[in-house]
Structure 1
């Protein structure tokens, strides 16, 4: 039996949900808390166990982009068609270019109205040619609409510029320099055997969601080709962008997420210039009542791959949320107090109200 692209497995009783939190300052981890089980009865979860952190992945993808900006290999405001080699246009506004700034800030006009997961042999160009992908009433740059599909376009652009596979370039530019044992969809960046240490994600009823514990590996870590093939040699640089899930496929521990948080607290150092970090964390969009889909107040402001949120006490936090496969997660730093935390909870019931894992986490 399979669920998604993972092998299902049976347990006689449900494990305890995992609840993990790591607090940190600019230079040190100040507290760790891990309780529950890692998706398997009898296996205690730890802060060092890798887990699929969902949309927090977008923040790491953005850091990779900003490294390329620092290297002057990418321009945030250039028409991405020039990088990809094919026209990327909202058919309702054919004269309005789409840029990385638009994609990273979710103001591109792209929406998740079709499946944003492309098979291994899928074509991003074909996907973007579908009029249903685009908001017909808003020009690029004019309206915020959070969309996962932005991320494969960003990933393909990175690949087109570097001529390297997305997982490999992010490992090289972000994960390895920070000594993070993590990777996108079990690609480059994870140490040998890291996959076997993963937190298995289960739904609240015990159904397998991702990263089955049996065998130490998924049959295919990406969405197979249309004929069922999973040979990664078939992956085409700059033409797919989706296979390594730049929108949500990062496997990383809470302990290593703290290193990303420390980078945010340290103004982007040691990876980003002061200018690049300032641009990434600057409000590119702020809700004014009519300029975006705020999802009932869930989105207040957004930078370049950075969620910006003000808590109930009036304090501003930057970071990103993650929600998928019954996991809720948040990586948040407070620039004023110079402190932050990474936390996640598994096996969250589907009916649980959406939250930021900031002041509370289910």
Structure 2
């Protein structure tokens, strides 16, 4: 065994980092079964550890969908109302300064119709700063479109607000609350910003690499991080004095979920079963129902353009494949409507997608994707289309 590992290490040293294949995992599922269909590349290039379907990866914006599950569990319990002014929960007045008379609700935040924008990655709020302080920055607000006007602007910053609301009504820190509400009930060895994941999960962490081979995220060396959040300005990382509700950005509710594809497929199975045993029928219908549709001129994606990538969106649930004016969102190329979410960060592309009629779906990720990766036949990258195609879920070109 030692000789084999030594030989693997010598081979890796001889290969330029950018020439090594990306780590790619795809798992298909239906309402009763999960099946890995594509497993290739290395989870850790330094050690030569191959990736597996059970390795946790920072799944990027698919995290938003899982955060929304926590919200809907609180809605089911009567602790949150999707249409109530979130100022009532936060304990301070949240308003777009350009539209001071327009309340902002959880429904607007979850569906990216709140009039918040990311303002040069201002959704990253370090320890020691409050979310209220961050939202006082005029750069985070759209001064032309009021909240609830039907204007969609995909915005990470919505989710720190949502997490702060969740913390305020429960008195629990977001990372711990999500373990209680969602991750443990679904029997997932998953976590936000590594808080609550097992030591064994840390040993299997997928290191994220950029296209040039540079390490981008989660080079843990088999050990859970000592600091789980963005440290304070002085470098400190003491969470003992943190008051729930002050800064919902700390545990990255918009993108910080670490989860394996086998476990992400379990989330897909729960959705495929209509939330049975996890959400009420009413909550599930609200979660998956389309709250906004693209008409060619009423929304922007994360890149600030109307690329036809987002054409239907619910409560942190993206609907693709429905077609329509200016829409190019059919990742699968078969005209079937699917629900789920995509992810993009630190060289990773990911997705959880399912056909709610048949219950069939896929959970996947691939790493080391260039920021300027070419589009395929849809608004998704050709690399993502290739993963779906090689998983036998997209027609061959």
Distance 2:104 2:136 in 1: 14
CA shift, 1:161, in A, is 0.6
The correspondence of residues 1-362 of structure 1 with structure 2, limited to 5 A, is 12=13, 13=15, 14=17, 15-41=20-46, 42-114=48-120, 115-142=122-149, 143-188=151-196, 190-214=197-221, 216-294=223-301, 295-310=306-321, 311=330, 312-353=333-374, 355=380, 359-361=385-387
Which stretch shifts more, 69-78 or 106-115?
106-115
For the aligned residue pairs, the C-alpha RMSD in angstroms reads: 1.6
Secondary structure of 1:244 counterpart = coil
Q: How many residues align?
A: 351
Whether the 8 Å CA contact 2:202–2:222 is kept in 1: the answer is no
CA shift, 1:28, in A, is 1.1
Whether the 8 Å CA contact 1:119–1:225 is kept in 2: the answer is yes
Shift in CA distance, 25/318, structure 1 to aligned 2, threshold 3 Å: same
> What is the TM-score when the length of structure 2 is the normalising length?
0.85
Distance 1:93 1:129 in 2: 14
The unaligned stretches of length 5 or more in structure 2 are: 1-11, 322-329, 389-397
CA shift, 1:214, in A, is 2.5
Shift in CA distance, 353/86, structure 1 to aligned 2, threshold 3 Å: farther
Per-residue CA deviation, residues 121-156 of structure 1 (Å, 9 max, x unaligned), is 111001112222111111111210000000100000
Shift in CA distance, 122/91, structure 1 to aligned 2, threshold 3 Å: same
Distance 2:94 2:220 in 1: 40
Secondary structure of 1:352 counterpart = coil
Secondary structure of 2:267 counterpart = helix
Distance 1:194 1:280 in 2: 29
CA shift, 1:197, in A, is 1.4
1:8 is matched with which residue? none
Whether the 8 Å CA contact 1:332–1:358 is kept in 2: the answer is no
> What is the TM-score when the length of structure 1 is the normalising length?
0.93
Greater relative contact order (Cα < 8 A, sep 6+): 1
Distance 1:208 1:358 in 2: 21
The unaligned stretches of length 5 or more in structure 1 are: 1-10
Secondary structure of 2:145 counterpart = coil
CA shift, 1:317, in A, is 0.6
Shift in CA distance, 131/159, structure 1 to aligned 2, threshold 3 Å: same
